[in-house]
Chains A and B, each alone.
Chain A
Amino acid sequence: MPKINMPKKSPSLDMTPMVDLAFLLVTFFMLTTKFRPEEPVIVDTPSSISEIKLPERDIMMITIDKDGRIFFDIDGKQTRANLIEKMGERYEVKFTPEEVKRFSVLSSFGVPMANMKQLLNAKEKERETINKETKGIPADSLKNELADWINFGRHANPKFRIAIKGDGQANYPVVKDVIKTLQGQKVNKFNLITNLEEAPKN
């Protein structure tokens, strides 16, 4: 009788290609992920059905929290460094290179120029209290620092899009001030950041 020799196969599976692939993907996602930068205030944006995504680069972000305080944020380290120097000249505040460097890596900020030095030299804990107590960037008609921030920011890079991230509970007059400021700078096109909401069906 002919013997049937079953080929002896190891039950183990070569997992190497799978692991390779998994790590490739891990690396890809790790490198492409951009973590949300730490924000000084928590903002609960209203929702809309709009599905337009915010562009990833060249964004000037104006944040309005629920107490109506205005914060400002702009992309790009180099842009930020140039911006703070220009603002320093405009408001006659001298910044040391160390302070300029700190500003360039800061995220959103909401202090008047008079307190900017204090914010830059503050430690992390102190910065939190400053952010809690600050009145935001002045944007009323008497003293409109926001207009200067936007103006100099747009000079640095005209491609910048302006996004307004407002808390749903913010009072409208503050938003109106911001929009007026923008229109004063001949910015008539901007984005409002919202959460996604499902469109009603009818």
Chain B
Amino acid sequence: MSEIQQSDSGGGDKKHSKVRAKKSSTHIDMTPMVDLAFLLLTFFMLTTTFSKPKTMEINMPVKPDKPEEEQKIKESQALTILLSANNKIVWYTGLGDDPAKPPVTNTADFSLNGPRGIHKVILEKNQDIFTKVQLTKDSIGRGLLKEDEGKKHIASYKGFKDGLVVLIKPDSTAKYKNVVDILDEMNVCAVGRFAIVDITESEKELLKISN
């Protein structure tokens, strides 16, 4: 890349015995400067793209002023997930607020494809909505549906009134990571209706028993 000086540029003057100032080339070797410029360029390009954090948006249900206004969830559509220490998950269907009928608990883990992964449990219960959402996403991807229109469809599927409602109840030993993982699972499985709820005393007992 460097410049090559033309050797014949000042050659004709040799006959003259006059002392002349040496004619130096006006070219400067710019290679090191270019190297540096590109080095800096690469550095800044890489640092800008990597420092943007991603976020997960969550909307907590607005607390109604009067307790009577609270929405009632049907027993059949509820799935309660209890989170505890050491990544333990205990889940049961229903609300579990009827003392006469203690819920049947199952344990699960966070593995995606494992035999007891919570992913499968949620997906199975939310299969209808998940399929619809997936199809809509596909058609957006193939350009059959406009993006904002498709998003509207997805939002309406997720807000389906009789769809699955997941109640997430972390106990006092649960880690923040577990909560985020479960919230993430809600996104993956296209569960639109979920809430983080305080754990009750009877559920703490359930966690203890299932140890």
- Chain A residues with CB under 8 Å of chain B are 10-13, 15-16, 18-19, 22-23, 25-26, 29-30, 32-36, 45-54, 64, 163, 165-176, 179, 182-183, 188-197, 199-200
CA distance A165 to B44 in the complex (A): 25
Contact call B56/A19, Cβ cutoff below 8 A: no
Contact call A171/B60, Cβ cutoff below 8 A: no
Overall SS of chain B's interface = mixed
> Given A13-B1, A168-B180, A173-B172, are A188 and B60 neighbors across the interface (CB < 8 Å)?
yes
Contact call A49/B187, Cβ cutoff below 8 A: yes
25 cross-chain CB contacts under 8 A? A10-B6, A15-B30, A18-B34, A19-B34, A26-B44, A29-B41, A32-B48, A35-B47, A48-B184, A49-B184, A50-B184, A52-B55, A52-B57, A168-B175, A171-B174, A176-B198, A188-B59, A188-B60, A189-B58, A190-B60, A192-B55, A192-B56, A192-B180, A193-B54, A194-B56
User: What B residues does A45 contact at CB under 8 A?
Assistant: 53
CA distance A188 to B174 in the complex (A): 22
B141 to chain A, nearest CB (A): 13
**CB-based nearest B residue for A61:** B53
What 1/0 mask marks residues of chain B from 35 to 55 whose CB sits below 8 Å from any chain A CB? 001101100110110011111
Contact call A22/B188, Cβ cutoff below 8 A: no
Contact call B179/A175, Cβ cutoff below 8 A: yes
Contact call B54/A33, Cβ cutoff below 8 A: no
Contact call B37/A22, Cβ cutoff below 8 A: yes
Contact call A48/B176, Cβ cutoff below 8 A: no
CA distance A193 to B29 in the complex (A): 48
CA distance A41 to B62 in the complex (A): 32
Contact call B187/A193, Cβ cutoff below 8 A: no
Contact call B180/A194, Cβ cutoff below 8 A: yes
CA distance A64 to B180 in the complex (A): 14
User: What B residues does A200 contact at CB under 8 A?
Assistant: 112, 119, 188
User: What A residues does B170 contact at CB under 8 A?
Assistant: 172, 176
B61 at the interface (CB under 8 A from A): yes
User: What B residues does A196 contact at CB under 8 A?
Assistant: 54
CA distance A179 to B40 in the complex (A): 42
- Chain B residues with CB under 8 Å of chain A are 1-4, 6, 27, 30, 33-34, 37-38, 40-41, 44-45, 47-48, 51-63, 83, 112, 119, 170-181, 183-184, 187-188, 196, 198
User: What B residues does A190 contact at CB under 8 A?
Assistant: 57-58, 60
CA distance A167 to B188 in the complex (A): 22
Contact call B4/A193, Cβ cutoff below 8 A: no
Contact call B41/A22, Cβ cutoff below 8 A: yes
10 smallest A-B Cβ distances: which pairs?
A29-B44, A168-B177, A191-B55, A22-B37, A50-B56, A48-B184, A46-B180, A172-B174, A46-B177, A170-B176
Contact call A26/B40, Cβ cutoff below 8 A: yes
Contact call B176/A46, Cβ cutoff below 8 A: yes
**CB-based nearest B residue for A170:** B176
A84 to chain B, nearest CB (A): 26
CA distance A16 to B33 in the complex (A): 11
Partner of B175, one of A49, A170, A192, A197: A170
> Given A12-B3, A33-B44, A188-B62, are A52 and B54 neighbors across the interface (CB < 8 Å)?
yes
